[in-house]
Amino acid sequence: MCGIVGFTSRSASAVGPLVSGLRRLEYRGYDSAGVALECDEGIKVFKQTGKVAELDALLKKELPEEERGKFTVGIAHTRWATHGLPTTVNAHPHIADGGSLALVHNGIVENYAALRSGLEKHGVKFVSQTDTEVLAHLVATFDKGDLLAATCEALKRVEGTYGIALISAKHPGEMIVARKGSPLVIGVGEKDIVVASDVSAIVAYTRQVIYLKDGDVARITPDGVDIHSLDFSPVSREVQEVDWDIGAIEKGGYEHFMLKEIFEQPDALRNTIRGRLDAGEGTAILSGLNLRPRDLAAVRRLVIIGCGTSLHAGMVGKYLFETLADIPASAEQAAEFRYCNPIVGPDDWVIALSQSGETADTLAAVRESNRKGALVSGLCNVVGSTIAREAGRGVYLHAGPEISVASTKAFTAQVTALLMTALKLGRTRRLSLEEGVKLVAEIERIPDLISEVLKKSDDIAKIAEKYAKADDMFFIGRGILYPAALEGALKIKEVAYVHAEGYQAAELKHGPIALLGEETPVVALLSDIAGKEKTLGNVQECRARRAPVIGIVTEGDAAAAAAVNDAITLPRTSAPIAPIVTAVALQLLAYHVARLRGCEIDQPRNLAKSVTVE
């Protein structure tokens, strides 16, 4: 959600790196931005509602280029409003101690009201509506000469989540950062140190990074990083190397990151699959799971947890595990799972899906599952993320960074990873060697199948022109394609701002059919797999109400193509692969509709990439 950047150097100006870092984090979603810079005269703060470009314009106006060299330490932030309206006053950084201390914060301080009341009784004056300002004043209250110690004392009194960075004119050249439930990464360069809530803001300077863990508090100077726990005990954290470079987060000639990431899917899934299939044994090699065949055979139930797009991937996974591994499975919304006192135990395998590995509700569900003694695995895209660490075992997607808020390649990579996991589990049960070998061959074809779908982009764009003005749409599918219908509806909601609903095809006539008419297109998923004939019957019901139907059909299926108004043809696949290629076509449809409607595709209104608050 919100973005944090910090920069300290022996000689380089912090202004450029801070603004550049904020631009790298724009995809996370935000409504205001600000920077705080340290110099001999104290702390200077610049804040602005709107985009980072507007903050940059303010800095260019207020801070001449010749003055910037004296600011070698600074912090910056993009805010997504929670407590208080998106105004300049509520924007970060927040100041305390007479303007000598500045702080930025991601997360939620759950007991901020009580803390604020206590501080006000001691004469502290607040100017914003935010919970973050409480943190700034709290640290200032405890500052008796050691800023790290003051931060530790303040954070001991905080309930909730935080990723913070702060600077103080009383402690020149020093930056303090801390995390609990909200990610922070420290990039260690030869001359500069960069802090950010996402590694994408760091890789332009260094690929050597330290991932802070919950409870870590670090003092950062140009000379190095000193990490402690909240009880002030020193701790050691490994320096790791980021396995992608700055080119991975550039648009590379594409108009939008979303389109780039849609077209990256063949290579992304090759990376997800690479080295993980054993054609001879007809199984998958997933060493990160760290599970022996005996462990897998002992599993009696699968529970897949996620939110949004990850939940839809998990719903595909439910079908895969039940079909291939002959084991009961369910897909659960992570927040609901946590709060419904779930019945899970040692015989249950909980698989947590999260692109970022930081999704707050999913992380809380992981912790609840661990407390109840379940076998827990994480399936994440971001190496070193909190869910990956706390699960202790799992599968990294290796899909590369995803910048557009609307997830595309992470979804197809998640489904592919779940398919390989179901194959591995199935081979410990009733899936034969012959069936396993056949499925391995099909999985290896996925990148090429997606490439074939991508060739249809121009054709899909022409279809999008016919329906771009629609205000309502329905997506219908059966069986394993039902989650793909939900994901298609979600994509067009996210990026095109079209009201859309996904339904089991049979459910359409149990109420929603009353909404159909000439202005309400229906997208019917009609791949030539089990359930197609029944869905064709539902298509006829839609057309009888004069609703235009866009069909996602298999190449060569003349009957299905003739039954719809417009057909998007896909290569022939088996049922386990069908949701993947279907999703790519629906991503392209959503993208082209959004483009035609003039929407802000990569940064949709009100949305954030990584949801780190519940």
Whether 334 and 359 have beta carbons less than 8 Å apart is answered as yes
pLDDT tops 80 at residue 106: yes
431 contacts 413 by C-beta, under 8 angstroms: no
Q: Of the listed 2, 152, 307, 599, which one is catalytic? A: 2
In a 10 Å sphere around its CB, with 0-12 CB exposed, 13-18 middle and 19+ buried, how is residue 510 labelled?
exposed
The tokens for 321 are 């595990």
Tokens found for residue 333: 């919304």
CA dihedral 535, 540, 545, 547 (to 10 degrees): 70
Residue 3: strand pairing partners: 78
pLDDT band at 259 (very low <50, low <70, confident <90, very high): very high
Q: Is 609 designated active site?
A: yes
pLDDT at residue number 610: 55
User: What ranges do the domains of the chain cover?
Assistant: 3-242, 253-453, 455-604
Superfamily designation of domain 253-453: Glucose-6-phosphate isomerase like protein; domain 1 (3.40.50.10490)
| Active-site residue identified among 424, 491, 493, 609 | 609
What number is the average pLDDT over the span 313-337? 96
- Residue 32 and residue 54: Cα distance in Å, rounded? 9
| Choice between 596 and 381, residue whose per-residue pLDDT is larger | 596
At 94, the pLDDT band (50, 70, 90 cuts) reads very high
The confidence score (pLDDT) of residue 97 equals 93
Fold equal for 253-453 and 455-604: yes
Q: Which amino acid is at 432?
A: S
Give Dmax over CA atoms of the chain in angstroms: 79
Q: Does domain 3-242 have CATH number 3.40.50.300?
A: no
CA distance 192 to 5: 13
- Other beta carbons within 10 angstroms of residue 430's beta carbon come to 11
pLDDT > 70: what percent of the chain? Answer: 97
Report residue 542's pLDDT band, with 50, 70 and 90 as the boundaries: very high
Dist CA 594 CA 603 (whole Å): 12
Q: For residue 295, give Cα distances in angstroms to 171, 304, 348, 419, 428.
A: 53, 18, 11, 19, 10
Higher pLDDT, 27 or 216: 216
CB atoms within 10 A of CB 605: 10
Tokens 């800095």 map to which residue? 59
Strands in 3-9's sheet, in edge-to-edge order, are 42-49, 32-39, 73-79, 3-9, 192-196, 185-188, 208-211, 239-241
pLDDT of residue 125: 94
Among 234-248, 285-299, 304-318, 466-480, whose mean pLDDT is lowest? 234-248
Residue 608 is predicted with a pLDDT of 62
Name the pLDDT band for 614 (thresholds 50, 70, 90).
Answer: low
Q: What is the pTM of this model?
A: 0.79
Pairing, β 101-106 against β 94-96:
antiparallel
What is the pLDDT, as a whole number, of residue 603? 85
Beta-bridge mates of residue 399: none
Q: How many other C-beta atoms can be found within 10 angstroms of the C-beta atom of residue 458? A: 9
Q: For 420-453, what is each residue's pLDDT tens digit?
A: 999 999 999 989 999 999 999 999 999 999 999 9
Specify the pairing of strand 522-526 against strand 472-477.
Answer: parallel
Alpha helices in 264-408 (DSSP H): 265-273, 293-297, 309-324, 334-339, 360-371, 386-391
Establish whether the linkage from the previous residue to 93 is cis, with ω within 30° of 0: yes
The gap from C-alpha 588 to its chain's centroid, in whole angstroms, comes to 20
Domain 455-604: homologous superfamily in CATH: Glucose-6-phosphate isomerase like protein; domain 1 (3.40.50.10490)
pLDDT at 203: 87
**Which two three-digit tokens encode residue 291?**
């599970």
Question: Given this model, what pLDDT does residue 571 score?
Answer: 97
> Which regions of 393-459 does DSSP assign to beta strands (E)?
394-396
Q: Return mean pLDDT, the chain.
A: 92
Rounded Cα gap, residues 182 and 124, in angstroms: 27
The pLDDT value given to residue 613: 52
d(CA 504, CA 437): 31
| Predicted pLDDT at 314 | 98
Q: Give whole-number Cα distances, 73 to 153, 194, 237, in Å.
A: 24, 10, 23
Q: Is 2 a catalytic residue?
A: yes
* Listed residue (273, 192, 171) closest to 9, CA to CA: 192
pLDDT band at 604 (very low <50, low <70, confident <90, very high): confident
Has residue 419 got a pLDDT over 90?
yes
Mean pLDDT calculated for residue range 357-375: 91
Closest listed residue to residue 304, CA positions, set 295, 312, 296: 312
pLDDT of 40 reads: 84
